[in-house]
Amino acid sequence: MNSTTNAEQIAHRPQISAAYVDPVDAVWLHAASRMGMQVKRDPNVFASWDGRGTLSIGVPESLDPDDCLAQMVLHEVCHALVEGPAAVQQPDWGIRIDDPAQRVREHACLRLQAALTTPHGLRKVLAATTTFREYYDALLEDPLAAGDDPAIAKAVEGWKRAVEGPWTEPIQTALTATSLIANAVQYAANTDCLWSAFDSDSKLRSEPLR
């Protein structure tokens, strides 16, 4: 029997030089940094952009089980892309989430999120959450296809910025890395785990929509 006390074990523990970070968190924290966003975890918010470079994301304990840092960073990036460069200087991209008249802007963000993730097999893995999940899940296979939803035109504008703008490389690098991780862990995922929703048969869209 080992008679060493916890205090003795702690006293003799080697100095810790590195901490574990979830691989997908690391990918998206790096991507956010490359896009000029400093991500801060805050138990008092769900997600909030201050217009000055800080993106606050709720802590895991305050989020829903299907939320993750990667999805939330990507969602905020999609808001920025839909709203355009000037919105980066405004709190929450200039959007008032409590204004029903601005719902089209949220819907455009969701369409862009689906368009960016689908080619990487991540549409369900990095799916929108909360009350907007129903809209997201109802989108067609091509969420940017022509239609009568006014959100489509704004989403296409965001898509063009996503594939032709300064954030193209960090976004695509992060999505590719996340897809590789998803492909590696899917075999071990139970059906109630988001990684089981990875679509390994998706094909990468190679050119921007017009």
Residue ranges covered by each domain of the chain: 19-197
User: Quick one: pLDDT band at residue 5, thresholds 50, 70, 90?
Assistant: low
d(CA 57, CA 130): 15
d(CA 66, CA 12): 39
C-alpha atoms less than 13 angstroms from C-alpha of 142 in its C-beta half-sphere? 10
pLDDT averaged over the chain? Answer: 91
- The reported pLDDT for the residue numbered 175 is 97
- Identify each DSSP E strand in the chain by its residue range: 38-41, 47-49, 54-57
Q: What is the pLDDT of residues 161-208, one digit of tens each?
A: 999 999 999 999 999 999 999 999 999 999 999 999 999 887 554 444
Q: What is the pLDDT of residues 66-115, one digit of tens each?
A: 999 999 999 999 999 999 999 999 999 999 877 888 899 999 999 999 99
By the 10 Å C-beta count (0-12 exposed, 13-18 middle, 19+ buried), 125 is classed as buried
